[in-house]
Structure 1
Amino acid sequence: MGLNLEEQKAVDRFRKDIVEPSMTNLVVLDFWAEWCGPCKALTPVLEKVCADYADKGVVLAKINVDEEQFIAAQFQVRSIPTVYAMFQGQPVADLTNARTESQLKAMLDQLLDQLPLGGDAARQAKADVAQFVEMGEQVLADGDGERAAGIFSQVVEMAPDDAAAHAGLIRALVAAGRAEDAQAHAAALDEKLAGDPAVRTALSALELAGERVDDSELQALRAAAAERPADMEAQMAYAEAAFASGDREAAGETLLGMIRTDREWNDGAARARLVKMFEAVGLEDPWTVATRRKLSTLLFG
């Protein structure tokens, strides 16, 4: 083919990450770069719509033009963001001008009506995976982390490329007190899965689980925070331990109190930790919504 070693590696990555999935899915291919402001604005739209359309066979793939210059050149990318729809290894539509959720959904609906995506067996397999993921999430919500981990482990075996299953397994292992197992599983994920929004949320939960302590130490940290309200180190230590033990309310109120006392302490560490907790819990969670409202009132009200 006349390619050098690096170009051949780029082609192999493209085949694995985009061409192969596109044989049975509609791949939304996003060319982007870290320095591109419009790319960062478009990313949440692409992620949300592709997640909404996942059960219809739509998947999102991203190519950093700085890291994959050879592939970007093959697509004659002149500006970014550039977004294509790929099916069976070929670009079937230019989605670049679809910058809003409604525009993107309209174009995807049109494509899905025209393309023979997957088949009955493939659609049924995806439905089965989604059903088991939902089951695992419900068991996890009910507080049985160990059983949820068992369910998600089976789903990962069924669908090793399903990001929701890997994210659920990491969070379930954390809930079951098996942070080391969760860390080992996270470390084994490839770059594509590790970058999925659901997996990033799970990794935030895993990071925060590292502050878990036993009951006696938690009580000592609580007492120290109560006795020394101006001691920011003591407040932070208790907030982290409280969150790791499952007491979100105590963690949130402690961090809000720190921000109220000295929002600039340690370069805004209290606010940064609170935002990390929001990511770990999920931005739509009622606790997150309520606590973010309190934070906004505190900062801007």
Structure 2
Amino acid sequence: MATQGLNLEEQKAVDAFRRQVVEPSMTGLVIVDFWAEWCGPCKALTPVLEKVAADYADKGVVLAKINVDEDKFIAAQFQVRSIPTVYAIFQGQPVADLTQARSESQLKAMLDEILAKLPIEAGDSAPTQDVAPLLAMGEEVLTGGDAARAIGIFSQIIELAPDTVAAQAGLARALAADGQVDAADEVLAALDEEAAKDPAVERARAAIALVRDRPDEGALAALNAAFEANRDDMQARFDLAAAQIAAGERDAPSEHLLAMIEADRDWNDGAAKARLLDLFQAIGLEDPWVAATRRRLSAILFG
């Protein structure tokens, strides 16, 4: 895939595609699923692809998912005109169109035929590469709000590659998002001293800290009522935003915190900005939502 003349976003997309698809395909077979959040057939196909990829992991097969709304450039390179579209990639090149295989048996039959013709290495020969698409999938699912499914994906990665720190950290974040804070703490507590220093683990700690005191609906309603009774009460607004973050929200609390920063950035020693930065850290600085919200924060601070 040529990179000359690309803008920054296109270059990032190409780099991500290389990491998630091209590099693993040098020794294995990568199933690339082009999908979108609004696509009903895509959601029906996803569990089938995930199961088959897991069943064939020891044969060098991995799954990578490309959201056509977020990665328009990559989708355009593959001339994707409808979704779901599914390709098998080997050594950076499409070797089969798997789109018509909608059932587990159909997909396995096609994979068996492909694998019989290609010099695919066993999955254990490159464990770090093999789990990369699964890690990306786990992050995507967790960002989408399906914590329970993300727990399953990260747990599966840990079974395949127990020493994958990113999977351990992802599992901790997914457990925290699912309300299982004690279990999330246990995952991080079991890490060795070196792994505990990993930035992914720091992100997990930040995520756990934000949701540790998750409020029930009654408490959240009371905090909202207190704020609505006096919308100029900075403490009431901050308490509401903190509770919304602990409840797993990000849009509403970020709006509150940005408004507070714009009104009085120094209130309570910059508490609103600090809490917003904690939210960024927990979600991940590379997340598109974080990038967009950081631009809004910068416009307030430096505009």
How does the TM-score come out when normalised to structure 2? 0.56
Among 171, 175, 178, the alignment partner of 1:176 is: 178
* CA–CA separation in structure 2 for the residues paired with 1:291 and 1:175: 21
Contact 1:211 1:240 in 2 (8 A): no
Secondary structure of 2:258's counterpart equals helix
Within 5 Å, give how 1:160-171 maps onto structure 2.
160-171=162-173
Return the offset for 1:198. Answer: 1.8
* CA–CA separation in structure 2 for the residues paired with 1:211 and 1:227: 24
Q: Deviations over 1:26-59 (max 9, x none)?
A: xxxxxxxxxxxxxxxxxxxxxxxxxx79x79xxx
| Counterpart position of 1:110 | none
Within 5 Å, give how 1:126-141 maps onto structure 2.
126-141=128-143
| Counterpart position of 2:249 | 247
Among 91, 108, 125, the alignment partner of 2:127 is: 125
Q: Deviations over 1:97-124 (max 9, x none)?
A: xxxxxxxxxxxxxxxxxxxxxx976543
| Counterpart position of 1:106 | none
| Counterpart position of 1:208 | 210
Kindly provide the amino acid, as one letter, of the partner of residue 199 in structure 2: P
Kindly provide the amino acid, as one letter, of the partner of residue 130 in structure 1: A
Among 242, 265, 270, the alignment partner of 2:267 is: 265
Return the offset for 1:170. Answer: 1.0
Which ranges in structure 2 are unaligned for 5 or more consecutive residues?
Answer: 1-18, 25-120
* CA–CA separation in structure 2 for the residues paired with 1:157 and 1:268: 43
Judge which range, 250-259 or 284-293, deviates more: 284-293
Kindly provide the amino acid, as one letter, of the partner of residue 211 in structure 1: D
* CA–CA separation in structure 2 for the residues paired with 1:198 and 1:285: 14
Kindly provide the amino acid, as one letter, of the partner of residue 238 in structure 2: M
| Counterpart position of 2:161 | 159
| Identical-residue share of aligned pairs (%) | 50
* CA–CA separation in structure 2 for the residues paired with 1:126 and 1:291: 32
* CA–CA separation in structure 2 for the residues paired with 1:143 and 1:249: 13
Among 226, 229, 233, the alignment partner of 1:227 is: 229
| Counterpart position of 1:97 | none
Q: Identify if the C-alpha distance between structure 1 residues 121 and 217 changes in structure 2 by more than 3 Å, giving closer, same or farther.
A: closer
Q: Deviations over 1:219-265 (max 9, x none)?
A: 11112122223322211110111122232121111111221222112
Secondary structure of 2:145's counterpart equals coil
Aligned length: 190
How does the TM-score come out when normalised to structure 1? 0.56
Secondary structure of 2:126's counterpart equals helix
Which ranges in structure 1 are unaligned for 5 or more consecutive residues?
Answer: 1-51, 57-118
